[in-house]
Amino acid sequence: MGLLALGTPLPWSEAKQHADYVREHGIEQLLHIWHRLKDRTGDRLLWGDEIEYLVISYDDESKNARLSLRQTEILQDLQADADERRRTPSREESPVAAGAESVNGTAAKVLEDGQTPQKNNEACIPVFHPEYGRYMLESTPGAPYGATLDDLLLVEGNMRFRRKLAKSRMKSHEVPLTLTSFPRLGAPGIFTDPYYPPGGGVARSLFLPDEITNEHVRFPTLTANIRRRRGSKVAINMPIYFDENTPKPFVDPTIPRDRNLWPEDANAREGAALDNHIYMDAMGFGMGCCCLQITFQACSVGEARRMYDAFVPVGPIMLALSAAAPIFRGWLSDVDCRWDVIAGSVDDRTAEERGVKPLQHDRFVIPKSRYDSVDCYIADTPSNRPEYNDNDMPIDPKIRDHLVERGMDKLLATHFAHLFIRDPIVIFEETLCQDDEKSSDHFENIQSTNWQTVRFKPPPPGSPIGWRVEFRSMEVQLTDYENAAFSVFIVLLTRAIMSLGLNFYLPISKVDENMHRAHRRDAINTQKFYFRKNLFDPKPGHPCDPSLDALSALPEDVSPRQPRSPVANGFGSHSREPSHCESSCSSHRPSRVPSPVRSDSTPSGPVEDEYDLFTINEIVNGSPERNFPGLIGVVRIYLDGLEKEGKVSAEVRKGIERSLELIRRRADGSLITLATYMRRFVHSHPAYKHDSAVTQEINYDLIKALDEIERGERPAPELLPEGWREGYDNKDGRWSQCCGAEEAKLDQQSASASDP
């Protein structure tokens, strides 16, 4: 969440009159940032995760697991706790770099330009943020991690500490659970604590009360204005999972089709609720889901653009690997992931924009929701062939031309001209008038309500923060061991991509197809995904060290086929950026790799020859027969290179291997996803009638079981590798020691609290 400005939000009828104004000034603000900072280089790698939690409230007497709506109180307590810690810093040194983005005005220190990473306590004063659901929390480390492999060992401990801290502010019947989607959100009966009946005037949902929404005025306004702009409630339909006793066709008996409380109640009767699907009708179903996101600061805008592009094809793969959302509104669905639910939950497109009615009043037919997969690549490198941007992607030509006239390159201008086809949904009357040189609020209004799989984040004006990229597709995992493993893997993958100059491009329409496949039940074992065949072809050139050529670090069996055709693709003249980021990247890559065999070739030939269908196992773990190293393979190449130079200690390598083991085994199917675990649990529950229904009783037992797994009280060897709790139990491992003293204090407090 960005800064939650207070003010008077405009209803849609008024906000829409200011839409052009906000867009125009948003673009001015972007141009100010662009001109000031496009040549900024030398920023260090900084990165940090975001984890979202459901606050579960147990009612053991009636065997019900509900969502606790105490977000506000819990956050206030956590804030008081953070303030207290800041006043009385503990003696213990935290080894994490200082410098968090100030999000709510109270966040940790921001790094001064050129400041070296320093050891201090900030990382152990985590930042907790509000989220859409009044039953949700979000946490980030108090300060981002830096560009050292050693920091990777701190991630799990820091996450665990954050969870304990959150838990310490909860009541004894409450727990923070990192579960992507609450199985009975919107199901009949009591699913919130306290109980509220569905049907408030904001969402007008047949299933959800308005009280599940964060009470900050921004959230109800977003909710209502999306509905108003669209002209109806959002309509999300996820396919039902047909079990042996599920009636066919499936006509959901839990939809109150006859309700007549709001005009929108008619939506369900008039076609919005599809048979054979689980119908959901409110923003809360999607924005009330939890995810795991990772943000990186790149050394320059060029590097950020390359990182962004490389992440795009990785997005669906990581979605499938992290799948954790198989149940919606009390029904088993035929998909394993949340993404499409969120996409539908904020789909503010009108009927004309959706192509349901001919264009008359609106400007564009828009193929996707504002929450969806990325629509275009943006890197200005020859390896980014124009053919890859093959999506039908509406842009505002006036905005693009204006950006180009004012000095932005066409590719990036096109990206923003696409984001800016959207209207601002929430406008605060008091902040309409801004100084475009100093503020980026209008820009962020549109930018941060384009929720795509990857986000390219320009530096906020007047801050020392550089160009950043956020990886956003992953579902949150049940344990911090897993959340750390996914984070560490993505961090190492970026390092491998940048250091080895890898090329992941494939047509963006194929990435979208992969997104669809990633949702399918047990996608890891049943689906094939498009991926680029040769990740080393051609090398785009690394701005941080053009002399680097890690190809020589490749083992024989994965060397790229040589030679490649040296024909240029005609994509502009800026084939390689000057080397200006050495210092920022040097600590994190092999510095001397012998015998460069760089080829200046840029690709030619049909794009269709560049990619193929792979299993997730092949994409992640590689395929010797296909001469494909796999994503873990390239990470290992990168690490082996560093290891040869003595830059990776045995302890660090061991910690990293703990993380890679999870990713490797999820991909090869020897461990299952949480989605599969949850399905199996439901199937084997004695009360399950094989009719796709996840009852209150089943849900209670499921949530308890998940909670027990997280606490290490219930073995789940099919889900987690042996030894996954090493970091929790072995206090000698460094991955258990981030904020160790603080954590010990919390342990003591909770032990004495539970003493009779």
The residue range among 138-146, 299-307, 402-410, 603-611 that interacts with Mg ion, by the rule CB under 5 A, is 138-146
Residue 368's binding partner out of ligand ADP, Mg ion, none, with CB under 5 to 8 Å set by partner kind? Mg ion
Which one of 2, 188, 546, 712 is in contact with ligand ADP (CB under 6 A)?
2
User: Which lies closer to ligand ADP via its Cβ, residue 237 or residue 293?
Assistant: 293
Q: Categorise residue 483: left if φ over 0, alpha if ψ from -120 to 50, beta otherwise.
A: alpha
DSSP summary character for residue 519: H
Which one of 52, 101, 193, 352 is in contact with ligand ADP (CB under 6 A)?
101
Distances 723 to 332, 437, 501 between C-alpha atoms, Å: 31, 53, 34
Place of tokens 């090398």: 539
The binding track of 430-469 with respect to ligand ADP, each residue x by CB under 6 A or -, is -----------------------------------x--x-
Q: Does 218 bind Mg ion (CB under 5 A)?
A: no
Could you tell me the smallest distance in angstroms from the CB atom of residue 52 to Mg ion?
A: 5
Which one of 23, 25, 129, 679 is in contact with ligand ADP (CB under 6 A)?
129
Total residues binding ligand ADP (CB under 6 A): 21
User: Closest Cα to residue 186, out of 283, 266, 276, 74?
Assistant: 283
Residue 296's binding partner out of Mg ion, ligand ADP, none, with CB under 5 to 8 Å set by partner kind? ligand ADP
Residue 707 has phi, psi (to 5 degrees) of: -60, -40
Residues 6+ apart with CB under 8 A from 521: 241, 326, 334, 335, 336, 675, 679
Total residues binding Mg ion (CB under 5 A): 7
Which one of 4, 103, 365, 607 is in contact with ligand ADP (CB under 6 A)?
103
Could you tell me the smallest distance in angstroms from the CB atom of residue 607 to ligand ADP?
A: 32
654/156 Cα distance (integer angstroms): 14
208/224 Cα distance (integer angstroms): 14
The binding track of 403-442 with respect to Mg ion, each residue x by CB under 5 A or -, is ----------------------------------------
Q: Two tokens at 680? A: 């199996």
Which one of 293, 499, 527, 615 is in contact with Mg ion (CB under 5 A)?
293
Residue 188 burial (10 A CB sphere; 0-12, 13-18, 19+): middle
The residue range among 159-167, 290-298, 394-402, 604-612 that interacts with ligand ADP, by the rule CB under 6 A, is 290-298
Q: What three-state secondary structure class fits 174?
A: strand
The binding track of 24-63 with respect to ligand ADP, each residue x by CB under 6 A or -, is ----------------------xxxxx-------------
The residue range among 240-248, 294-302, 395-403, 495-503 that interacts with ligand ADP, by the rule CB under 6 A, is 294-302
Q: Does 353 bind Mg ion (CB under 5 A)?
A: no
Determine the length of the chain: 756
Q: What three-state secondary structure class fits 257?
A: coil
Q: Two tokens at 267? A: 């939506």
User: Which lies closer to Mg ion via its Cβ, residue 287 or residue 301?
Assistant: 287
Between strands 236-239 and 277-280, the pairing is: antiparallel
Using alpha carbons only, give the angle 331, 335, 336 rounded to the nearest 5 degrees.
95
Q: Where is 279: in which H helix or E strand?
A: strand 277-280
Q: Does 121 bind Mg ion (CB under 5 A)?
A: no
User: Which lies closer to Mg ion via its Cβ, residue 62 or residue 463?
Assistant: 463
335/241 Cα distance (integer angstroms): 8
Could you tell me the smallest distance in angstroms from the CB atom of residue 287 to Mg ion?
A: 9
Bridge partners of 46, per DSSP, are 297
User: Closest Cα to residue 446, out of 418, 411, 422?
Assistant: 422
User: Which lies closer to Mg ion via its Cβ, residue 1 or residue 746?
Assistant: 1
User: Which lies closer to ligand ADP via its Cβ, residue 132 or residue 279?
Assistant: 132
8/428 Cα distance (integer angstroms): 5
Q: Two tokens at 125? A: 């004063």
The residue range among 288-296, 382-390, 626-634, 659-667 that interacts with ligand ADP, by the rule CB under 6 A, is 288-296
User: Which lies closer to ligand ADP via its Cβ, residue 1 or residue 255?
Assistant: 1
The binding track of 354-393 with respect to Mg ion, each residue x by CB under 5 A or -, is --------------x---x--x------------------
User: Which lies closer to ligand ADP via its Cβ, residue 132 or residue 614?
Assistant: 132
Bridge partners of 31, per DSSP, are none
Using Cβ positions, the residue closest to ligand ADP within the complex turns out to be 48
Could you tell me the smallest distance in angstroms from the CB atom of residue 459 to ligand ADP?
A: 8
User: Which lies closer to ligand ADP via its Cβ, residue 1 or residue 274?
Assistant: 1
What's the per-residue H, E or C state across 124-139?
HCCEEECCCECCEEEE
Q: CA torsion, points 40, 41, 43, 47, in degrees to nearest 10?
A: 90
Which one of 26, 95, 133, 144 is in contact with ligand ADP (CB under 6 A)?
144
406/35 Cα distance (integer angstroms): 9
599/163 Cα distance (integer angstroms): 48
User: Which lies closer to ligand ADP via its Cβ, residue 464 or residue 596?
Assistant: 464
User: Which lies closer to ligand ADP via its Cβ, residue 163 or residue 468?
Assistant: 468
Q: Does 348 bind Mg ion (CB under 5 A)?
A: no
DSSP summary character for residue 674: H
Residue 480's binding partner out of ligand ADP, Mg ion, none, with CB under 5 to 8 Å set by partner kind? none
Q: Does 529 bind ligand ADP (CB under 6 A)?
A: no
Other CB atoms within a 10 A radius of the CB of residue 497 amount to 25
User: Which lies closer to ligand ADP via its Cβ, residue 103 or residue 404?
Assistant: 103
User: Which lies closer to ligand ADP via its Cβ, residue 100 or residue 551?
Assistant: 100
Q: Does 209 bind ligand ADP (CB under 6 A)?
A: no
User: Which lies closer to Mg ion via its Cβ, residue 123 or residue 619?
Assistant: 123
Place of tokens 């590798």: 721
Task: Report yes or no: 52 and 178 within 8 Å, Cβ to Cβ.
Answer: yes
Which one of 50, 441, 549, 707 is in contact with Mg ion (CB under 5 A)?
50
Residue 292's binding partner out of Mg ion, ligand ADP, none, with CB under 5 to 8 Å set by partner kind? none
731/555 Cα distance (integer angstroms): 37
Distances 257 to 206, 283, 694 between C-alpha atoms, Å: 8, 19, 21
User: Which lies closer to Mg ion via its Cβ, residue 372 or residue 380?
Assistant: 372
Could you tell me the smallest distance in angstroms from the CB atom of residue 222 to ligand ADP?
A: 15
Could you tell me the smallest distance in angstroms from the CB atom of residue 625 to ligand ADP?
A: 39
Q: Does 743 bind Mg ion (CB under 5 A)?
A: no
User: Which lies closer to Mg ion via its Cβ, residue 2 or residue 256?
Assistant: 2
Q: Taking the chain, what is the end-to-end CA distance rounded to the nearest angstrom? A: 40
Q: What three-state secondary structure class fits 173?
A: coil
Rg (CA), the chain: 25
680/332 Cα distance (integer angstroms): 11
Q: What three-state secondary structure class fits 490?
A: helix
Could you tell me the smallest distance in angstroms from the CB atom of residue 101 to ligand ADP?
A: 4
Residues that bind ligand ADP (CB under 6 A): 1-2, 46-50, 100-101, 103, 129, 140-141, 144, 293, 295-297, 465, 468, 470
Residues that bind Mg ion (CB under 5 A): 2, 50, 138, 293, 368, 372, 375
